Structures are given as C-alpha cells and as structure tokens.
Amino acid sequence: MPRRRQIYEGKAKILYEGPEPGTLIQYFKDDATAFNAQKKGTINGKGVINNRISEYVFLRLGHIGIPTHFIRRLNMREQLVRQAEIVPIEVVVRNVAAGSISKRLGIEEGEPLPHTLIEYYYKDDGLGDPLIAEEHIACFNWASNEEMQDIASMAIRINDFLCGMFAAINIRLVDFKLEFGRIWDGDYSRLILADEISPDGCRLWDMTTGEKLDKDRFRRDLGGEEDAYQEVARRLGLLQNEDNGPGEVFDLNAHRGKLRSPIKPKK
C-alpha cells in the first residue's frame, strides 16, 4: 500500500490526502486530551466509536438538509470527507449550564439556560481557544456577516434535531461544539459542517440518573470513559452486529474483548 501524505494532525484526528482532488481521509485516534492538551491520555477504542457515532449523526443531519463534509466511512477508523477551508471559530451551543460557563458566570452546573445560547471561541490552541464576540469575528474578518448568519441558523437547527434525537434514547444534550468550513466553486464559497460530532465534543447526560456519558469522565477523572462512549453508541443502535460496511451496525467485541457492564468509576 502506498504511503499516504499526512496533511494535518490534531488532538483527536489525523487528516490524510484523499484519493481524489478535494477530498481528505479523516482518521480517528484513541488519544484523549483536556484543558487545551494540558491533560493527555488514551481511551481504548474511542476512535472506532467516534467514527461510527459521527458518521451516524452526519448522515442524519444530511437528511434534514444540513450540508456536511462527510462523504462515506471507509473502515473502522477512517472517513472520506470533503476538503474545506476551516473557519477559525469553534461554535459552542449550550442548553444547560456546565463546564466553563458555570465557572465564568457562577451558574450552578445542571441549571437549564433560559434559552439556547451560542458562544464563539477563536480556534487557537496556543491561546487556549479564547471566548470571542461577533464583533471580534467581523473586525478580524474571520467570517463574513452572511456566513455568521448561516452558522447561527445551522447551529440552532442542528441543536433542535440533536436534542430530539438524544432525548429519544434518554440522553440530555447539555452542550456541544461545532466547526464549519468553506468549499469553493470558483469565486464563490458556501459553508458546510466539518470536523465531528461525538462524545468528545458533546456533553451527554443520562436523563434519568444524570450519569455523564462523554469526555467529562476523562476530564474529571471519573473513570469508565470507554463504557460511556460505548453506551452512547449502543443506545444509537451502533453496537449490535458484525461491521460489514457503511451505515451498518457493528460488534466491537469482535475487535477488542467483551463490552463491559455499564459505567464503573475507577477506585
């Protein structure tokens, strides 16, 4: 097999040159980081689970008209995606107070927000991804006014859909991160949803018990990270049968031992 040219390596994924112009291969790693990579570790099987969850979510968003970079899943850890010029803004959609907003504003974690809140962060690990206002975005020309309107509109639509999708499997969507990219047609560009949507970038709480089913288990040393990610995939119907191709459920047992029982904290 010819050696692929690596385009970029991030904290959770590697991007390789794709087989056709305008495409990339997105590889999902098991690496886990928190607090702007100050804390590092590994969650076994995370890349496999996130690949499938993100595929599932992006396909469903495509069905409701959200344009995305996703083309198809190639194997257990890789997706074929459209190459896009990433807008240097992380979009965080919040439904419930948790994480940094609780610390910044002194709001008790778990408090429902009066309405859905969209926050913007400048995408720069060296600066700690600082919180920014739309005025910063306009001042430094990171995105046009029209693009920001499209981003806000898509973020709200995605949130509405995902809240319902997760509620149907007894999971509360507390908050999540989105990234967008531009694809070009001559001198004209349009925005598409990029990156991934998985427990790495979402806060997901069991609606009955409040159990955290996301990367906060790693951030806060709660233990049971692997089980939490697998539980989300299981509820979505993605951990059942042999993995034979895109769009089908698979059995992680065939690749990495038996699934353990629901989340058990480290002692």
The CATH number of the domain holding residue 139 is 3.30.470.20
Domain membership flag for residue 245: yes
**What whole-number percentage of the chain has pLDDT above 70?**
89
Model pLDDT, residue 40: 92
Would 216 be classed as within a structural domain? Answer: no
Q: Are 119 and 174 part of one and the same domain? A: yes
Closest CA to 198 of 11, 67, 7, 3: 11
| Contact of 204 with 232, CB cutoff 8 Å | yes
Q: Does 201 lie in the same domain as 91?
A: yes
Do 138 and 244 share a domain, yes or no?
Answer: no
Asked whether residue 102 falls in the same domain as residue 156, the answer is yes
pTM of the model: 0.89
Q: At residue 242, does pLDDT exceed 50?
A: no
Same domain, 199 and 89: yes
Domain that holds residue 252: 6-84+226-256
Residue 239's pLDDT is what? 86
> Does residue 212 lie within any of the structural domains?
no
Tell whether 70 and 175 lie within a shared domain: no
Span 92-102, mean pLDDT? 98
**What are 162's two structure tokens?**
């995902």
Domain identity same for 198 and 130? yes
Give a yes or no: residue 263 inside a domain: no
pLDDT score for 262: 40
For residues 239-267, average pLDDT: 46
Judge if 100 and 190 occupy the same domain.
yes
One domain, residues 202 and 234: no
- Cα 34 to chain centroid, rounded: 14
CB burial of 127-163 (b: ≥16 within 10 Å; e: otherwise) equals eebeebeeeebeeeebbeeebbebbeebbeebbebbb
**For residues 196 and 180, what is the distance between their CA atoms, to the nearest angstrom?**
10
Q: What is the pLDDT of residue 3?
A: 75
Which residues sit opposite 229 in a β-bridge? none
Q: Is residue 186, in this structure, part of any structural domain at all?
A: yes
Residue 103 has pLDDT above 70, yes or no: yes
Residue pair 73/85 in contact (Cβ under 8 Å)? The answer is: no
In a domain, 104, yes or no: yes
187 compared with 167, residue with greater pLDDT: 167
Instruction: Say what the pLDDT of residue 168 is.
Output: 98
Asked if the structure places residue 262 within a domain, the reply is no
Q: How many domains does the chain have?
A: 2
pLDDT at 246 over 60: no
Per-residue pLDDT, 241: 47
pLDDT at 209 over 90: yes
- Give the C-alpha separation, 51 to 145, whole Å: 32
**Does residue 90 share a domain with residue 79?**
no
Q: Which two tokens stand for residue 236?
A: 């979505």
pLDDT over 50 at 37, yes or no: yes
* Residues 41 and 149 both lie in one domain: no
Radius of gyration over alpha carbons of the chain, in Å? 18
Domain match, 28 and 129 both:
no
The answer to whether position 267 is within a domain reads no
- Whichever domain contains 37, its CATH number is 3.30.200.20
Q: Starting from the edge strand earliest in sequence, which strands make up the sheet with 78-82, in order? A: 6-9, 13-17, 23-28, 78-82, 70-73
